[in-house]
């Protein structure tokens, strides 16, 4: 039995063009549009899986929407005399209304339910004065795609591993930790204030002790001088009496 005609619209339809130089990753885009009123499952396959990175390589296209697939050719030594034999195939089928497991749907799909389109790969080398510009644009495109994919995966993995109850617990724990930190800051502030008060009292007491000591020393010095004068006077009087 012949397979049904592809319902997805592909842009480009027949060729994926990769423009060199091929010393870095070269990216081209494939747009898949779903003009039907049914959701459509799709897969992107290639005859050279080690040479390409495809994002996304499978998924569901909602009715009346489209998706851009990025096809990244890995660096290699380009030989202009060698023709590319690499090919891609876009496989699709109408999504069941109650679908929950996409992998299971693909495994159970019947051959007459599958649709496919094939594209061949074409490698082109730019003229010399365009090489540097193309290299920079390819680098920027590949970098942005990898970053967006990484952030999307991180968000998805986080949302899939935490349910509402766990998120609520985490929020409550964060609130409790913030209150505990505030209480510790207040205690630390009170301790600093008490230490400052004790230091001020200690300084006052030290200054008082120093003042009393100085007064005592001054009193002792005055008494000593008075005694010396007294002895001197008595000595003078006794000396006159003796003479």
Q: Which two tokens stand for residue 140?
A: 């920027």
Cβ partners under 8 Å of residue 68, min gap 6: 29, 30, 31, 32
Tens of pLDDT along 10-43? 999 999 999 999 999 999 999 999 999 999 999 9
**What separation in angstroms does the CA of 175 have from each of 30, 159, 172, 181?**
47, 21, 5, 10
Q: Which two tokens stand for residue 229?
A: 């004068």
Alpha-carbon dihedral sign for residues 30, 33, 34, 39? positive
Alpha-carbon dihedral sign for residues 183, 186, 191, 194? negative
Cβ partners under 8 Å of residue 122, min gap 6: 15, 16, 17, 18, 84
- Residue 76 dihedral angles phi and psi, to the nearest 5°: -160, 165
Contact between 42 and 59 under an 8 Å Cβ cutoff? The reply is yes
Contact between 21 and 136 under an 8 Å Cβ cutoff? The reply is no
Contact between 114 and 5 under an 8 Å Cβ cutoff? The reply is no
Contact between 115 and 3 under an 8 Å Cβ cutoff? The reply is yes
Cβ partners under 8 Å of residue 24, min gap 6: 75, 135, 138, 139, 142
> Which domains does the chain possess?
9-103+111-124 (2.60.40.10)
pTM equals 0.53
Task: Label residue 155 by pLDDT band (50, 70, 90).
Answer: very low
Is the per-residue pLDDT at 90 higher than 70? yes
Whole-number Å distance between alpha carbons of 138 and 118:
24
Residues in the chain: 243
Beta strand pairing call for 87-94 and 58-61:
unpaired
Task: Label residue 158 by pLDDT band (50, 70, 90).
Answer: very low
Alpha-carbon dihedral sign for residues 75, 90, 124, 85? positive
**Residue of higher predicted confidence among 226 and 79:** 79
Task: Label residue 93 by pLDDT band (50, 70, 90).
Answer: very high
């Amino acid at each position: 039995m012949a397979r049904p005609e592809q319902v997805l619209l592909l842009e480009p339809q027949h060729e994926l063009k990769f423009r060199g130089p091929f010393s870095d990753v070269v990216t081209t885009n494939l747009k898949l549009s779903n003009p039907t009123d049914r959701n459509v499952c799709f897969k992107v396959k290639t005859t050279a899986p080690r040479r390409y990175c495809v994002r996304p390589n499978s998924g569901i296209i909602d009715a009346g929407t489209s998706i851009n697939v990025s096809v990244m050719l890995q660096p290699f030594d380009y030989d202009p005399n060698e023709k590319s034999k690499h090919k891609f195939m876009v496989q699709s089928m109408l999504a069941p209304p109650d679908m929950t497991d996409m992998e299971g749907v693909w495994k159970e799909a019947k051959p007459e339910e599958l649709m496919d389109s094939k594209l061949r790969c074409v490698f082109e080398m730019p003229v010399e004065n365009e090489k540097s510009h193309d290299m920079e644009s390819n680098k920027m495109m590949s970098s942005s795609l990898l970053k967006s994919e990484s952030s999307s995966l991180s968000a998805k993995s986080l949302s899939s591993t935490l349910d509402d109850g766990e998120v609520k617990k985490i929020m409550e724990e964060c609130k409790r930790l913030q209150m505990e930190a505030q209480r510790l800051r207040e205690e630390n502030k009170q301790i600093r204030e008490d230490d400052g008060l004790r230091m001020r009292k200690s300084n006052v007491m030290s200054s008082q002790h120093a003042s009393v000591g100085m007064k005592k020393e001054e009193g002792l010095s005055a008494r000593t001088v008075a005694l010396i004068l007294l002895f001197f006077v008595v000595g003078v009087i006794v000396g006159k009496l003796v003479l």
